[in-house]
Amino acid sequence: MLNYTIRRLLVSIPVIVASTFIVFLLVTLSGDPLAGLKGRNPPPSPQVVAVEAARLHLDQPVLQRYWTWITGVLHGDSGPSVRTNIDIGHEIVTRLGVTLRLIAVAVVLALLLAVFVGVVSAVKQYSGIDYGFTFAAFLFLSMPSFWFAVLLKQAGISLNNLLGDQVLSTIGERSVVVEGGTWAHLTDAAGHMVLPTISLALISFGAWSRFQRASMLDVLNSDYVLFARAKGLSRRRVVIKHALRTALIPMVTITALDFASLVSGAVITETVFQWRGLGDFLVSSINQRDAYAVLAWLLVVAVAVIVFNLLADLLYALLDPRIRYE
């Protein structure tokens, strides 16, 4: 297991280098990062522009700039920011907690719903319950994430106007002013998470529930499950104790592979609900042509995707004792 983990990590290094280099080229060729500075009125002096270009390493060739950035990352320096003039690493860490909180709760909610709906649909195949769950899954699966997020936000605003009170928070990850102690701050943060979490979770739930249903049907028709039923075990025990554990393996795979999609969905969700997480960080960085900030975002996401896929491989061995990594 240890050797397998080390091999997977070593193979991931070229993937990270290649992906960051491609994005670095695309961001570099997209425009001048100093366009905003040069467009000020009155315009800055050539000396000011030259100093800023040197600070951002824009006076170096492209390959040398990338090498400067990648070696700086290895030493804990993510490079200077065009937008804020502060360390990018510090800003990434600050915003990472906001996005991770959103994604973690959304994943747990989507998984619980998907597993429950998938198992019930498989056990009650071709029943009214199955058709109802199938309709709901395809409904959420077909919705554009940005449209669904806007729809939820408008529904929250309409509900607040109808009740004459702030029942659902629609802007930001917390209120500007919160009266009370720790519990008041926790409940305020939880209230702000309701709509963004539902928006992100239900979009993933649609696809995941269909995968869980298909996986469960495949396991229910396998020989060992049929043998367990023939021995006289109850259907409930066979489904929960024997079939579900094996049927969860494809769900682990799809959850790990969908992490990048969840991050993309979080970018849209954070933009709609005005959360200051990594999504807002990426959008602002792209608008300002902040190459080092975009690269830092990509590096965090790439490492997270690799870690999630590695964890998925390791979870296989826990869910299915037949799987061993040598």
How does residue 301 score in pLDDT terms, banded at 50, 70 and 90? confident
| 14-65 pLDDT, tens digit each | 888 888 888 778 777 776 777 767 777 787 888 888 887 887 777 788 888 8
* Tokens representing residue 22 in the block: 């491609």
User: Which of the pair, 298 or 79, is modelled with greater confidence?
Assistant: 298
What confidence score (pLDDT) does residue 259 get? Answer: 80
Q: What is the mean pLDDT of the chain?
A: 84
| 245-256 pLDDT, tens digit each | 888 888 888 888
- Alpha carbon distance 125, 250 (integer Å): 19
What confidence score (pLDDT) does residue 245 get? Answer: 83
In this structure, is the dihedral angle defined by the CA atoms of residues 69, 70, 73 and 74, taken in order, positive or negative? negative
- Alpha carbon distance 277, 221 (integer Å): 45
Which span out of 74-83, 86-95, 100-109, 181-190 was modeled with the highest average pLDDT? Answer: 100-109
* Tokens representing residue 290 in the block: 């902040």
What confidence score (pLDDT) does residue 290 get? Answer: 80
How does residue 217 score in pLDDT terms, banded at 50, 70 and 90? very high
* Helix H or strand E segment including 236: helix 235-237
| Spatial contact of 8 and 45, defined as CB atoms under 8 Å apart | no
DSSP state of 45: P
What confidence score (pLDDT) does residue 41 get? Answer: 75
Which span out of 39-53, 115-129, 172-186, 281-295 was modeled with the highest average pLDDT? Answer: 115-129
What confidence score (pLDDT) does residue 263 get? Answer: 84
Q: Is 76 helix (H, G, I), strand (E, B) or coil?
A: coil
In whole angstroms, how far apart are CA 144 and each of 106, 117, 138? 17, 21, 12
Of the candidates 140, 76, 147, which has an alpha carbon nearest to the alpha carbon of residue 114? 140
| 118-144 pLDDT, tens digit each | 999 999 999 999 999 999 999 998 888
Q: Please check the confidence at residue 325 and state whether its pLDDT lies above 60.
A: no
- Rounded average pLDDT over 180-203: 85
The pTM assigned to this predicted structure is 0.81
* Tokens representing residue 275 in the block: 């959360």
| Spatial contact of 275 and 102, defined as CB atoms under 8 Å apart | yes
- All structural domains of the chain, each given as residue ranges with its CATH number in brackets, are 95-319 (1.10.3720.10)
What confidence score (pLDDT) does residue 107 get? Answer: 92
| 67-91 pLDDT, tens digit each | 888 888 888 777 767 777 777 888 8
In whole angstroms, how far apart are CA 71 and each of 22, 58, 222, 272? 17, 16, 52, 36
How does residue 151 score in pLDDT terms, banded at 50, 70 and 90? very high
- Rounded average pLDDT over 273-293: 85
- Alpha carbon distance 193, 168 (integer Å): 9
